[in-house]
Amino acid sequence: VGLAGESACGKTSAMLTVLRLLPSNGKIMGGSVNFDGQDLLKLSDDDFRDNVRWKKISVIFQGAMNALHPTKKIGEQLSEPILLHENIEKEDAWERVGKLLDLVGVGAERLDRYPHELSGGLKQRSMIAMSLVCNPALVIADEPTTALDVITQAQVLKVIKELRQKLDLSMILVSHDLSVIAETCDKVAIMYAGKIVEFGDIASVFTEPLHPYSEQLIAAFPSV
């Protein structure tokens, strides 16, 4: 599923709400977040942290340059969620991370590298691998191609699509770029002023939008 809309319409805030990662000045006022047969908002913070975040729902953060710790090795950072959530030896965690780095095209040989030693595309692929380390059922990708050049963006999107098929992943892809949504997703939700104003199959929404805002947004991307 793609979540599309102009910048500052509330896309990232919606995903941070699902992940319980809102900033200190943010607050959930009501509603529900239903996942796997339960309302996640009814879980305690400790229960959500220990049993949902990373284990069931993970995230590919926007901007790998800022999301990765500059003084920690890639293997150390990517294995951290495994060591926090599973009773596993460090060597086994690193082995799993190495396999995932191979899967996303980074290569296990870069486990001992620091972020500054990787290109922007390899950093973003590393973040994709990190989202998979605990075998989640749902991955939220927040603007995964931000700040990447066109060629690198295409490569990252190809990796995401291949992983969806290989691992049978459910994914929410957040983007202001409709071309990214069109290339990657089966369904799309259009967001405007903090609300979902339209939801449906990619083809139907892009060819016959029902909401005036959806129509205007799509018209701004004639190549779609």
Above 70 in pLDDT, residue 224? no
In percent, how much of the chain has pLDDT > 90?
Answer: 81
Closest CA to 127 of 166, 90, 118, 178: 118
Domain that holds residue 120: 2-22+44-219
Work out the number of other CB atoms within 10 angstroms of the CB of residue 178.
Answer: 22
Instruction: List pLDDT tens digits, range 176-220.
Output: 889 899 989 999 999 999 999 999 999 999 999 999 999 999 998
Q: Tell me the pLDDT band of 223, cut-offs 50, 70 and 90.
A: low
Indicate the average pLDDT of the chain.
93
Closest C-alpha to 127, from 152, 106, 154: 106
Name the residue among 69, 91, 163 with its Cα closest to residue 125: 163
The answer as to whether 73 is a domain residue is yes
- Separation in Å, CA 174 to CA 72, 102, 136, 216: 27, 25, 18, 19
Instruction: Tell me what the mean pLDDT of segment 47-53 comes to.
Output: 95
* Tokens standing for residue 164: 């969806």
204 in a structural domain: yes
Distance CA 152, CA 114 (A): 20
Between CA 174 and CA 158 the distance in angstroms is 16
**How many H-runs (helices) and E-runs (strands) does the chain carry?**
10, 8
pLDDT in tens, 112-165: 999 999 999 999 999 999 999 999 999 999 998 887 888 999 999 999 999 998
pLDDT band for position 38 (cuts 50, 70, 90): very high
- Whether 126 is covered by a domain: the verdict is yes
Mean pLDDT of 32-48: 94
Q: Write down the pLDDT at residue 61.
A: 84
Domain presence at residue 189? yes
At which residue do the structure tokens 């339209």 appear? 198
Give the residue carrying structure tokens 């980074």: 106
pTM greater than 0.75 = yes
Beta strand pairing call for 38-39 and 34-35: antiparallel
Domains of the chain: total: 1
The pLDDT, as a whole number, for residue 220 is: 87
The CATH number assigned to the domain holding 94 equals 3.40.50.300
